[in-house]
């Protein structure tokens, strides 16, 4: 199945419902710190993307342009999704694993983080992300929770470093996908919701993870394309399909990433700006439709080579990439609106 997902968006196997394997070695829940040394975010090696250096977040599909970092008025703090999969030897990723780091850079950073380089400086910390098994185990739930806590400890440390050494009062965009979206939810709660830093929040894209209407007290869902100090969230599925084993329902916030509203109105493909799939330099314009239904987002896949082999109805790997240009234009719109108000 993995090569089919690569046809979709060139990300690794992220479709949670397809994963059954787990770590060969189950680490004791008290040994995480000893087994995997904590990152030092003062060192460049612990950042997948950082302004002032050349990295995968600087890449661009053909015909697009990035904002010069030296003139960018806003910052984007991006958390990548679960790349740590397969039969690994631990519940958290080793940041010294260069093969994994290269995989992260050539997939999530290239195909997701680059969405935001037209609106601000992109920061993407490497973190000891939890193995994908944590989302499925029924036996090792305490260990799984520890693994996620360790992952968030790194993300929180990276964000704290960014605030203390890089931000200098600049507007902030948060973005994350899947496990990265879970981490962004926690950053919003710990640093922004009802706190002074909320005044610097342009928008948060919490994509590929459910966000409930009661999750935040002071940060509302975005309901129009130029709204700021709000969040957007969606999980993408084939039109007509409602998953039975994933959270659904009207208590979950969903943003339509074409119209940027939260209404159930159908939005045709003619209004979409473009998808970026396997071929990074090819943009599929007016290629996907979108409609909110029972806490999820429905769409049809665009026409691309190999589409006939895609049988899954869960488009989780393409949550961002199916709407690549739509999100890219939207974050720029929101940053400009934020700066006008400021």
pLDDT in tens, the chain (342 residues): 333 333 333 333 333 233 334 455 444 444 454 467 899 999 999 999 999 999 999 999 988 999 999 999 999 999 999 999 988 778 999 999 999 999 999 999 999 999 999 999 999 999 999 999 999 988 889 999 999 999 999 999 999 999 999 999 999 999 999 999 999 999 999 999 999 999 999 999 999 999 999 999 999 999 999 999 999 999 999 999 999 999 999 999 999 999 999 999 999 999 999 999 989 999 999 999 999 999 999 999 998 888 888 899 999 999 999 999 999 999 999 999 999 998
CA pair distance 295, 70, nearest whole angstrom: 40
| Packing angle of the helix pair 179-187, 141-162 (nearest 10 deg) | 60
**How far apart are the C-alpha atoms of 41 and 44, rounded to whole Å?**
7
SS3 content of the chain, % helix, strand, coil (to 5): 35, 15, 50
Cα(295)–Cα(298) distance, rounded to whole angstroms? 10
Q: What is the pTM of this model?
A: 0.92
- Domain tally, the chain: 1
- Cα–Cα distance between 317 and 91 in angstroms, integer? 21
Round to the nearest angstrom and report the end-to-end CA distance of the chain: 48
Residues of the domain holding 154: 2-341
Q: Where are the alpha helices (DSSP H) in 129-216?
A: 141-162, 179-187
Query: Scanning the structure block, which residue is given the tokens 């007509």?
Result: 240
- State how far the alpha carbon of 197 is from the alpha carbons of 20, 61, 250, 282, 286, in Å: 40, 33, 29, 38, 37
């Amino acid at each position: 199945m993995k090569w089919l997902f690569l046809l979709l968006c060139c990300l690794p196997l992220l479709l949670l419902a397809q994963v059954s394997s787990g770590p060969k070695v189950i680490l004791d829940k008290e040994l995480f710190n000893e087994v995997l040394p904590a990152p030092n975010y003062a060192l460049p090696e612990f950042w997948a993307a950082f302004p002032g250096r050349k990295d995968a977040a600087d890449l661009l599909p053909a015909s697009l342009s990035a904002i010069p970092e030296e003139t960018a008025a806003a910052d984007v703090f991006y958390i990548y999704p679960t790349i740590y999969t397969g039969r690994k030897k631990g519940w958290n990723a080793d940041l010294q694993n260069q093969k994994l780091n290269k995989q992260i850079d050539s997939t999530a950073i290239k195909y997701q983080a680059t969405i935001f380089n037209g609106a601000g400086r992109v920061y993407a910390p490497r973190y000891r992300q939890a193995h994908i098994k944590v989302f499925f185990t029924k036996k090792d739930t305490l260990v799984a929770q520890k693994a996620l806590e360790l992952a968030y400890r790194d993300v929180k440390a990276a964000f704290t470093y960014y605030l203390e050494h890089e931000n200098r009062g600049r507007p902030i965009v948060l973005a994350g996908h899947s496990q990265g979206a879970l981490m962004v939810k926690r950053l919003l709660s710990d640093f922004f919701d009802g706190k002074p830093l909320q005044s610097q929040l342009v928008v948060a894209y919490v994509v590929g993870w459910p966000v409930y209407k009661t999750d935040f007290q002071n940060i509302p869902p975005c309901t129009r394309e130029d709204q700021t100090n709000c969040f957007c969230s969606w999980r993408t599925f084939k039109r007509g399909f409602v998953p039975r084993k994933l959270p659904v329902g009207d208590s979950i916030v969903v943003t339509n990433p074409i119209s940027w509203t939260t209404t159930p109105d159908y939005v045709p493909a003619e209004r979409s700006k473009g998808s970026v799939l396997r071929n990074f330099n090819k943009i599929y314009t007016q290629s996907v439709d979108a409609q909110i239904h029972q806490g999820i987002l429905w769409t049809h896949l665009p026409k691309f080579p190999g589409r006939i082999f895609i049988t899954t109805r869960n488009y989780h790997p393409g949550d961002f990439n199916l709407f690549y240009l739509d999100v890219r234009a939207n974050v720029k719109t929101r940053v400009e609106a934020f700066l006008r108000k400021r």
